[in-house]
């Protein structure tokens, strides 16, 4: 009897072990079960930590706990238990705060690599292991009282696109924590000439939002070798839900980067500036070896018909946002940054790779938290995708996106020239044939009866439902800086002429409808020594040279005055397509390099009843016939005085490569 019982128990154990390691088979990724819970990842408390991970195809999963973020033997190895809908769970009934962890999945009878789970919110050095952190201990002083600066309308936004390291690394930045999150918390920083830098500079400039290039944990910078001055923009994601360690004072302790990131956000908020994160959910830095692929092989990615990874990102892979668990991950990830870090908006890299439904669900989830969170992205891909074009969140589909904006390459290339034809001038540098594209940018890609869409450079029809869906810009981190582009495309022009062109391009952005976007340092004639794609160039190329603020004070003052003009006068930031159609009318300037228009009827509640804006792309002075009446010049191309400079009527001389603005308090002006 005892022998039979022993045999029965052994048989049961063997059967249970086989059942536990039995792989689930599915005909396709569409058959994978979907987990609806909101508790994937780690849920820590001092007496109990619960780990949950979704991996339907795994036959076994194990959790390893470590003392350090790199190296050493495991403190514990725990076999996880399979639950419902592909979720595995492990519970540790002790306080493991400060320990590090990995997961390892067995798929197709093979143990894959140890990795953190996709939901890891704290990681050790180089992001190789997750870290058990008590997030309540990472709040800086006053964090519970931190609030978003006020924002009435998306059209009020002026974005300043910034790389964390570029902002402070220059030797004469006056910033102590060079290249770090904390460098952006410092106030009172100045150059040896006494010019404000860093956070004070941005506040002084008047921007409303700072857009930070990727600050999630990316893989290209070795956090153990920071003395070697490595550099990257960070568009190679490793751990989406944890901050990058190279910007922290201690990359080995996951809690340090979390705390310092929060200090940075709070410092911006205290200065009246909101914070936008640049997020890269469209691809992962690694492909076969990514966290996604080591835990649920293949599922999170799109594939070609032959089974290979498709690559619309031109980075080796593209994620499959339309799959339920990838969509769920994206939504929960952005909510994590909003709820834990008080982030105010997101810029989606290569947004055209994502499907429209996912982007709209992200918008719904975020705007339920706070309707003022701002979302925008690149409305294109870097290559073809298996996702049907009609389902992609492309620029031409922006009107189908809910409260999400897209970059306007139409006005960008109209103002400075075709982005990939380096010596091609634009309207601002005297190139004819771009007038209709400039006009299209001025009305923020919305429908307007005076636009001939057959003559617009890229768009055959209006693509923005409302002006807040258009990001109006002329330069960004990628491609040449505006100043470098002008040097390349107009080598025969002297510096003074190129400065006029530069001012015209910036004025074209800041007087147009839509949401204004500035590349950090453009107000200082920022140069990257004509390096186009500086994503891994040294600091000497990428840094903001703060000495240029005193070298070119007129450009800085002009830009700051332009921003103040825009913020003071709502006519330049109308909130609806209907308003633009009603109040903005283009004038017949009779010239391909002159664009002129009126803003009438106290547009959008402006104090100025009637406004004329004239953009002269000619490299010489031009004469412009004015509408009837006497007008007051408030901007003459070189400077701005909202109280008025001088009067003009009938005809007016417009300086070369400039913008002029005139106002009139006469209801008869049309």
For the chain, state the CA radius of gyration: 28
526 is a domain residue = no
pLDDT tens digits, one per residue of 497-515: 999 999 999 999 999 999 9
364 tagged catalytic = no
Nearest by Cα to 538 from 525, 529, 551: 529
Averaged pLDDT score across all residues of the chain: 95
Determine the pLDDT at residue 21.
Answer: 52
CA 577/CA 470 separation, integer angstroms: 11
CA 62/CA 66 separation, integer angstroms: 13
What percentage of the chain reaches a pLDDT higher than 70? 96
CA 564/CA 523 separation, integer angstroms: 14
CA 518/CA 505 separation, integer angstroms: 11
CA 73/CA 57 separation, integer angstroms: 27
Q: How many CB atoms lie within 10 A of CB 405?
A: 29
Query: Could you tell me the two tokens for 186?
Result: 């410092």
> Strand, helix or coil at 508?
helix
603 is a domain residue = yes
CA 277/CA 186 separation, integer angstroms: 20
Domain count, the chain: 2
Diameter of the chain by CA atoms? 115
CA 265/CA 600 separation, integer angstroms: 39
CA 542/CA 610 separation, integer angstroms: 42
Q: Which of 79, 114, 149 is the last residue of a domain?
A: 114
161 tagged catalytic = no
Determine the pLDDT at residue 637.
Answer: 87
CA 596/CA 613 separation, integer angstroms: 6
Nearest by Cα to 116 from 67, 53, 59, 55: 53
Quick check: 648 pLDDT over 70? Answer: yes
The set of long-range contacts for 19-27, using a CB threshold of 8 Å and a minimum separation of 24, is: 20/59, 20/60, 20/81, 20/82, 21/59, 21/60, 21/106, 22/59, 23/57, 23/58, 23/59, 23/107, 23/108, 23/109, 24/56, 24/57, 24/59, 24/86, 26/56, 26/57
Name residues whose C-beta falls within 8 Å of residue 457's C-beta, 6 or more positions apart in sequence: 410, 413, 414, 434, 437
Q: List, in sequence order, every residue forming a beta bridge with 309; answer none if it has no partner.
A: 303
Q: Which of 57, 92, 114 is the last residue of a domain?
A: 114
pLDDT tens digits, one per residue of 72-83: 999 999 999 999
Q: How many CB atoms lie within 10 A of CB 136?
A: 7
Q: Which of 355, 378, 410, 413 is catalytic?
A: 378
The values of phi and psi at residue 93, to 5°, are -90, 60
Where residue 603 sits, what CATH number does that domain have? 2.60.40.1180
Name residues whose C-beta falls within 8 Å of residue 222's C-beta, 6 or more positions apart in sequence: 126, 228, 230
pLDDT confidence tier of residue 22, bands split at 50, 70 and 90: low
Helix (H) or strand (E) holding 438: helix 435-442
Q: Which of 86, 114, 142 is the last residue of a domain?
A: 114
561 is a domain residue = no
CA angle 207, 339, 464 (to 5 degrees): 50
Nearest by Cα to 294 from 128, 133, 132, 131: 128
pLDDT confidence tier of residue 666, bands split at 50, 70 and 90: low
Quick check: 10 pLDDT over 50? Answer: no
Determine the pLDDT at residue 24.
Answer: 76
606 is a domain residue = yes
Is 243:261 a contact under the CB 8 Å cutoff? Answer: yes
CA distances, 299 to each of 24, 309, 322 (Å) = 14, 11, 11
Give me the residue label for tokens 């091609």: 424
- Name the CA dihedral angle for 371, 372, 373, 376, rounded to a multiple of 10 degrees: 100
CA angle 591, 595, 597 (to 5 degrees): 125
Which structural domain, as residue segments, surrounds residue 615? 584-664
Pair type for strands 584-587 and 76-79:
unpaired
Query: Could you tell me the two tokens for 264?
Result: 């940075």
CA 342/CA 483 separation, integer angstroms: 34
Quick check: 9 pLDDT over 90? Answer: no
CA 148/CA 208 separation, integer angstroms: 11
602 is a domain residue = yes
Name residues whose C-beta falls within 8 Å of residue 214's C-beta, 6 or more positions apart in sequence: 233, 234, 235, 237, 244, 277, 278, 279, 280
First to last CA, the chain: 106
The values of phi and psi at residue 403, to 5°, are 55, 45
Where residue 78 sits, what CATH number does that domain have? 2.60.40.10
78 is a domain residue = yes
CA 32/CA 35 separation, integer angstroms: 10
pLDDT tens digits, one per residue of 303-338: 999 999 999 999 999 999 999 999 999 999 999 999
pLDDT confidence tier of residue 228, bands split at 50, 70 and 90: confident
Q: Which of 349, 410, 466, 484 is catalytic?
A: 349
What percentage of the chain reaches a pLDDT higher than 90? 94
* pLDDT, average across residues 439-462: 98
Is 597:530 a contact under the CB 8 Å cutoff? Answer: no
127 is a domain residue = no
CA 603/CA 592 separation, integer angstroms: 27
* pLDDT, average across residues 136-152: 98
Query: Could you tell me the two tokens for 105?
Result: 């999945």
Determine the pLDDT at residue 12.
Answer: 41
* pLDDT, average across residues 203-222: 98
DSSP class of residue 255 equals H
List the single range of 102-111, 225-234, 266-275 with lowest mean pLDDT: 225-234
Q: How are the residues of the chain apportioned to helix, strand and coil, as percentages rounded to the nearest 5?
A: 30, 20, 45
pLDDT confidence tier of residue 638, bands split at 50, 70 and 90: confident
Pair type for strands 470-472 and 515-519:
parallel
Name residues whose C-beta falls within 8 Å of residue 264's C-beta, 6 or more positions apart in sequence: 181, 182, 184, 185, 275
618 is a domain residue = yes
* pLDDT, average across residues 156-164: 98
Helix residue ranges per DSSP H, 538-576: 539-542, 548-551, 553-568
Quick check: 437 pLDDT over 60? Answer: yes
CA 458/CA 660 separation, integer angstroms: 27
């Amino acid at each position: 009897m005892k022998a039979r019982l022993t045999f029965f128990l052994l048989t049961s154990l063997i059967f249970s072990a086989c059942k536990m390691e039995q792989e689930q088979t599915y005909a396709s990724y569409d058959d994978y079960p979907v987990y609806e819970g909101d508790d994937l990842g780690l849920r820590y408390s001092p007496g109990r930590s619960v780990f949950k991970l979704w991996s339907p195809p795994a036959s076994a999963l194990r959790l390893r706990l470590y003392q350090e973020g790199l190296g050493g033997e495991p403190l514990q190895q725990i076999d996880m238990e399979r639950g419902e809908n592909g979720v595995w769970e492990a519970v540790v009934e002790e306080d493991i705060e400060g320990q590090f962890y990995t997961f390892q999945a067995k798929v197709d009878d093979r143990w894959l690599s140890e990795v953190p789970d996709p939901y890891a919110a704290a990681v050790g050095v180089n992001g190789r292991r997750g870290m058990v952190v008590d997030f309540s201990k990472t709040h800086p002083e006053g964090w519970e009282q931190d609030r978003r600066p006020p924002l009435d309308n998306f059209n009020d936004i002026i974005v300043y696109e910034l790389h964390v390291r570029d902002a402070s690394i220059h030797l004469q930045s006056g910033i102590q924590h060079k290249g770090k999150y904390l460098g952006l918390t410092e106030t009172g920083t100045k150059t040896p000439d006494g010019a404000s830098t860093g956070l004070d500079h941005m506040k002084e400039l008047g921007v409303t939002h700072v857009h930070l290039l990727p600050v999630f944990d990316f893989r290209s910078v070795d956090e153990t070798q920071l003395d070697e001055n490595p550099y990257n923009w960070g568009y190679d994601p490793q751990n989406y839900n944890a901050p990058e360690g190279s910007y922290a004072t201690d990359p080995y302790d996951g809690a340090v980067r979390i705390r310092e990131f929060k200090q940075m956000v709070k410092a911006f908020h205290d200065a009246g500036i909101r914070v936008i994160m640049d997020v890269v959910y469209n691809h992962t830095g690694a492909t076969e070896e990514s966290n996604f692929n080591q835990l649920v092989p293949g599922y999170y990615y799109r594939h070609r018909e032959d089974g290979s990874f498709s690559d619309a990102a031109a980075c080796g892979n593209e994620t499959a946002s339309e799959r339920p668990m990838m969509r769920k991950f994206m939504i929960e990830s952005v909510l994590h940054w909003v709820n834990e870090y008080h982030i105010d908006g997101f810029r989606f890299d290569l947004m055209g790779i994502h499907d429209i439904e996912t982007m709209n669900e992200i918008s719904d989830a975020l705007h339920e938290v706070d309707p003022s969170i701002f979302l925008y992205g690149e409305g294109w891909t870097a290559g073809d995708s298996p996702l049907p074009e009609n389902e992609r969140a492309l620029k031409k589909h922006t009107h189908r996106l809910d409260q999400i904006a897209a970059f306007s390459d139409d006005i960008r290339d109209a103002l400075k020239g075709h982005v990939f034809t380096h010596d091609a001038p634009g309207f601002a540098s005297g190139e004819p044939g771009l007038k209709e594209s400039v006009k299209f940018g001025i009305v923020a890609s919305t429908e307007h009866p005076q636009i001939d869409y057959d003559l617009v450079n890229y768009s055959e029809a209006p693509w923005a439902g409302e002006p807040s869906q258009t990001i109006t810009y002329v330069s960004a981190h990628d491609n040449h800086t505006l100043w470098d582009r002008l040097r390349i495309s107009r080598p025969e022009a002297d510096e003074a002429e190129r400065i006029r062109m530069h001012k015209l391009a910036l004025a074209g952005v800041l007087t147009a409808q839509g949401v204004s976007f500035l590349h950090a340092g453009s107000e200082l004639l920022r140069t990257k020594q004509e390096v186009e794609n500086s994503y891994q160039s040294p600091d000497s190329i990428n840094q903001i040279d703060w000495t240029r603020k005193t070298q070119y004070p007129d450009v800085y003052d002009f830009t700051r005055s332009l921003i103040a003009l825009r913020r003071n006068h709502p006519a330049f930031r109308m909130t609806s397509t209907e308003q633009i159609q009603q109040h903005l009318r283009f004038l017949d300037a009779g010239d391909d390099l002159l664009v002129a228009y009126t803003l009438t009827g106290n547009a959008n509640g402006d104090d100025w009843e009637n406004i004329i804006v004239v953009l002269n792309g000619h490299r010489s002075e031009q004469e412009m016939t004015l509408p009837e009446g006497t007008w007051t010049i408030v901007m003459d191309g070189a400077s701005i005085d909202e109280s008025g400079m001088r009067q003009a009527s009938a005809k007016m001389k417009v300086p070369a490569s400039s913008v002029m603005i005139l106002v009139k308090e006469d209801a008869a002006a049309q």
